[in-house]
Structure 1
Amino acid sequence: MSNDFRMKTVPEAKALEQVGDRWTLLILWASLNGISRFDDYQRELGVARNILSTRLRRLVDSGLLAKRPVHEGARRLEYRVTAKGQELHGPLREIEAWGARWKDR
C-alpha cells in the first residue's frame, strides 16, 4: 500500500483536510466563541477578505459551519457552528491549553 493511499484514508488525514490550516482553525475558534458575521471575523482575526471567504466556504462545505440569513429576507449572512463543528470545541480547548503552556519555550 502506498503512503499516499494511507494518508488519504486515516482519520487524522481526513480531519486535517477539513481543519488543517491556521486560518481555518482560528475562524472555527472565533465561531465557537460567538463570532458569526464576515466583517466581525475580519476585524477580530485580521484575516484578508479573500482568505476569509475561501476558508468560510470550506468550513460550510465540510459541514462545520452553516450559512444562513441574519433574519428572514435579509441579504446579509451569518455563520453558525453545526453539531459537527461543536464536537471540535474540546480538542480546540486542549490545543489552546497546550499553546499556553509552551508559548514561551
Structure 2
Amino acid sequence: MRSTVRNGLAAAAITAAGLTALAPSAAAQPSMYNPVITPCNHLFRTPLGAPRPGTDVYWSPFGTSGIVCYHWGTGMPDFYQRDPWGNWHDMNELTPGHFFYALPTSTVPDQATWG
C-alpha cells in the first residue's frame, strides 16, 4: 500500500515538474502585472524639427529626450517623458500625430521594468 502511494506521489511530482517546464514564462510578454518600458525618443520630433517618416510631433518644453514607451500588454504603448528633475509626465495625443506634454507628474513608469 505504501509503495502504491509513494509511486503515485512520485508520478504526480514528475507530471507537475514537466508541466511547469512547458508553461510559458510570465516575464516573457508585458502584461498589466509586469509592464515594461523601452526608450523611444526616435518616434518623435519637435514642432520645428524636420519631418521624418514614422515620427509624430511632440510639443514639450524638454524636446524629445527622455521619452519611453510603456508596454502593459495591450499592444499599444503609452508614452511618458522624464523631465530634467526626474519626474515622469504623460504624453497626450490631442490630434492625430500631435502629442502634448502633460503638466501633472506620474509614477506609472516607476512600476515597470526596463526592457
TM-score (norm 1): 0.29
Q: Give 1 or 2: higher helix fraction.
A: 1
Q: Give 1 or 2: higher strand fraction.
A: 2
TM-score (norm 2): 0.28
Q: Which has the larger radius of gyration?
A: 2
